[in-house]
Amino acid sequence: MRYMLLHKPYGVLSQFTDEAGHPGLKALVPEPGIYPVGRLDHDSEGLLLLTDDGGLAHRLADPKYEHPKTYWAQVERVPDEEALGTLRGGVMIQGRRTLPADARLLDLEIPPRDPPIRYRANIPTAWIELVLREGRNRQVRKMTAAVGFPTLRLMRVAIGPLQLGELAPGERRELTTDEVTALRELKRSPRAPSGD
């Protein structure tokens, strides 16, 4: 079995075929037979897990297990504690409340993206960390917009125990034996039904 981490760059699709003017993964991962678990939109960056282990991929993608995924979002303006509290409690997106999330303001510098985000001298930006346990379409962007702080740049930095670490955009590496073991343990822990 193969297990690989990739730092998906901005502008690349989480699939192997090119589409609508955006390149796919084939130039970054030329080996056949491994596939992404989940996805990142072309305008998002960061950690993507690829594997040929269909059973593990299916369980990791199953929403009932609510595996944590950690995102860093650069947002327009600086969120206050009220906005962060709303993100933690869940926000309404298309008539459904998101699950509770971990949300906090970050104090860090991330190297600029190519192409850079839009810049406005009179509007500051801030980085926040969101840990989600569900995976709705463009969820982070919709959540930050719902509380008045639109996302300008989005990076996934962790999937469960797997960390992006020092991987540069376009770089990849095989998982260690310990990381594979941690993934297998993670997939065995579904959340107890809430009774709702």
pLDDT tops 90 at residue 195: no
Amino acid letter for position 37: V
- Model confidence at 192, pLDDT cuts 50, 70, 90, reads very low
Q: Higher pLDDT residue, 172 or 191? A: 172
- Contacts of residue 137, defined as CB under 8 A and 6 or more positions apart, other chains included, come to none
Task: Answer yes or no: same fold for 1-65+161-196 and 68-159.
Answer: yes
Predicted pLDDT at 14: 93
Give 72's strand partners. Answer: 129, 155
Strands (E), the chain: 3-8, 35-37, 45-51, 69-76, 92-93, 96-97, 102-106, 125-132, 151-159, 162-163, 172-174
> Residue 7, class by beta-carbon neighbours within 10 Å (0-12 exposed, 13-18 middle, 19+ buried)?
buried
Q: What is the mean pLDDT of the chain?
A: 90
One-letter amino acid for residue 11 of the chain: G
pLDDT at residue 119 greater than cutoff 80: no
pLDDT of 28: 94
Q: Which of 41, 43, 52, 102 is catalytic?
A: 41
pLDDT band at 188 (very low <50, low <70, confident <90, very high): low
Indicate the class that CATH gives domain 1-65+161-196: alpha beta
Q: Which CATH superfamily is domain 68-159 in?
A: Alpha-L RNA-binding motif (3.30.70.1560)
Indicate if 41 belongs to the active site: yes
**How does strand 151-159 pair with strand 45-51?**
parallel
Predicted confidence at residue 185, as pLDDT, reads 84
pLDDT of residue 84: 97
Range scoring the smallest mean pLDDT among 5-9, 51-55, 57-61, 98-102 = 57-61
- Tell me the domain boundaries of the chain: 1-65+161-196, 68-159
> pLDDT per residue over 144-168, tens digit each?
999 999 999 999 999 999 999 999 9
